[in-house]
Each structure stands twice: as C-alpha cells, then as structure tokens.
Amino acid sequence: MKNSVRLSVILASLALPLLVALAVAQQPPQKPDEDLGDAIKVDVDVVNLYCAVRNKQNGLVNNLNKDDFDLAEDGKHQAIKYFTRETDIPLTLGLLVDVSGSQQNLIEIERRAAGSFFGSVLRKKDVAFLISFGADSELLQDLTASPRLLQDGLRRLKLNAGFSGINSGPVPTMNHNRGTVLYDAVYVAANDMLSHEVGRKAIVLITDGEDQGSKLNEKNAIEAAQKADAIIYGILYVDRQFYGGFGANYGGANVLKHMADETGGHMFQVDRKNTLESIFDQIQQEMRTQYLIGYTPTNSAKDGSFRKIDLKANSKDLKVEVRKGYYAMPNNNR
C-alpha cells in the first residue's frame, strides 16, 4: 500500500508541470500595443493625451486611427505608442457654478440643467464634485458617485455676491461687490480635487467669464489644470441685461476659450440657438467619443519644465482639441 501511494505522488508531481505548460499554451494572445489603453495609466514614462477631433462643420469625428495623427513635443516628432478610442474609462468630473451677482437671474436654470446633466453623464465608476463661486468659493459636494448627494449639493446653490457694508473693513465705505473668484475656484478644483485622481478628468465651468477678486490669476488656474491633466469645458452663460443688453461688451468669452484651448477642452456659449441643456448634451457626447493617445517622450528628463505638445490630424479639414502641453514632473503619471 505504501509503495502504491508513493507511486501516485510521483506521477502527480510529474504531471503538474505538463498541466501548467498546457494551460499557458492555451491562454489567448495579448492584444497589440494600440489596444492596451489601460497600460497607459500605470507607466509613469508615458504621456497620456485625451483628445477630441472636429470637422469644419464643428461635428465630432470618431472613426480615426493612429496613422491619422502626427505628434510632436517641443518641435520633435514623437512615436505614438498607444492608441484607442475611449468611451468607458472612469470619469472624474468637477462642476463649477458661478453664483456671483451677475448670475443671480440664472442660478435656478443652472440648477435644473446641472441636475439633468449629472443624471445622464455619470456612469458606473464615475465620480463628481460640485463647487460654487462668487465672492469666495465653496465645496457644496465632495467627490461622490451618488446622484442624490449631487442633487442635494445643487439645491444649496445660492447667490454669493459678497456685498460688504460700512462695518466690514477698517475704512468706512459704501456697499460694493467684492467680486467673482473664478481663477481661485478653477485652481482649487484642479489642484485640490483632481491632481491625485487617475483616468479622465474634466472641469465644467458655468460662468460669464468675469473674474474680480481672485488671489490667483488666469495663468495659475491653467497651470493647475495642466498639472492635474484636467480638461476644462467652459460654458459662457451671460445675463446680458446685467451688462446693459445684447450690445454690451465683455471679455469673458476670451477667458473661457483660452482656458479650454490650453487644456484640450472646448468653449460653448448659451444663446438663442443653444440652451444650457443642449450644451450639456454636447459635452457629454464629446467626453464619450474621445481618443486616448500615449507616447514615451524622447526627452526623458523629469525636471519640472513645461513641454509643448503639437498633435495634429493629417487631414487639414480636421481640428484636434488637446492640451497644449504638460509639466515633466518627477514620479508623476502624466
């Protein structure tokens, strides 16, 4: 009996390597590089680019391949290592709503439209947060996947005009509006909320684009978004009567367009043809039809310097929306 047991053990030990070899041989082959979108997230030497492509009619183009793009960094050609069309990578979204005095008549419309937007854009594994800003900024809802909590945050949107009175400071003065801390709010969203998150990150900004009173400037806000790899979608929403009617001049459009262009986003404008609800639908469509491109830069130094990115489509009829560059930070997944 002992000899029989010993023989069985020996046969089993001989059979195990054969079974392992057969199992390995039967595994399906790995996908080629261009399909390995997830690998980009864990390789700290790879720069990740989320981009959208539009045609001359401003429509989104979602049927391109790797060979349809040309990529350069600081003027030097770069080989695209990874390429995929991404629709389901988890999204971290920050909604920033202007509640300053100039937006007083628009807050209720913003509340309703944002509620529908959260309900339609967020999918499984997506998270979002909500910040309001006027005379100062306030986090109304921290990162959450709960539509209910986000709706509760939207219900707390209220006017924050920051009027100060005769007893508000060391020098008696008449009442005045302290301003709109637009740049400070973008910086907080990017640096404090998004810089440590992974995957796709976006800031949706509803405002008339006017900043008054921020401690930081536009350059600081853009730099924070670029370091966080966050795309800014600017929604220009103006109460024209507040600025004196439809003939009024204001510079908010240029500010929002610049922030969107520098981070790979897009600026939208609420007007008679485009409602806030329809713009939210367009943003949702764009975020679900992005390309994910990854490359290992020929300049491997991680010295904190800004590297300029130039990603173009080979067709002159197409425009690529992508961030203008990145900061080569040490030990930082870009």
Q: Quick one: average pLDDT of 180-206?
A: 96
Please give the DSSP secondary-structure letter assigned to residue 212. Answer: B
- Structure confidence by residue, pLDDT tens digits, 126-178: 999 999 999 999 999 999 999 999 999 999 999 998 754 333 333 333 334 46
What does the pLDDT read at residue 240? Answer: 77
What does the pLDDT read at residue 164? Answer: 41
Q: How far is CA 163 from CA 137, 179, 181, in A?
A: 15, 9, 14
Q: 83 is written with which tokens?
A: 């390429």
What does the pLDDT read at residue 250? Answer: 65
- Residues 6 or more apart whose Cβ sits within 8 Å of residue 109: 276
| Weakest-pLDDT range from 2-16, 216-230, 307-321 | 2-16
> Which position has the higher pLDDT, 199 or 53?
53
What does the pLDDT read at residue 329? Answer: 85
Q: How far is CA 277 from CA 48, 89, 113, 252, 283, in A?
A: 30, 24, 5, 20, 10
Residue 304 has pLDDT above 80, yes or no: yes
- Residues 6 or more apart whose Cβ sits within 8 Å of residue 16: none
What does the pLDDT read at residue 249? Answer: 53
pLDDT band at 288 (very low <50, low <70, confident <90, very high): confident
Q: Quick one: average pLDDT of 305-332?
A: 93
- Structure confidence by residue, pLDDT tens digits, 265-283: 999 999 999 999 999 999 9
Percent of the chain scored above 90 by pLDDT? 69
Percent of the chain scored above 70 by pLDDT? 78
Kindly report the average pLDDT of the chain as a whole number.
83
Domains by residue range for the chain, with CATH: 91-288 (3.40.50.410)
pLDDT band at 247 (very low <50, low <70, confident <90, very high): very low
What does the pLDDT read at residue 37? Answer: 39
What does the pLDDT read at residue 331? Answer: 66
Which residues on adjacent β-strands are paired with residue 251?
none
- Structure confidence by residue, pLDDT tens digits, 66-75: 999 999 999 9
- Structure confidence by residue, pLDDT tens digits, 249-269: 567 999 999 999 999 999 999
pLDDT band at 89 (very low <50, low <70, confident <90, very high): confident
What does the pLDDT read at residue 31? Answer: 42
Q: 164 is written with which tokens?
A: 């100060």
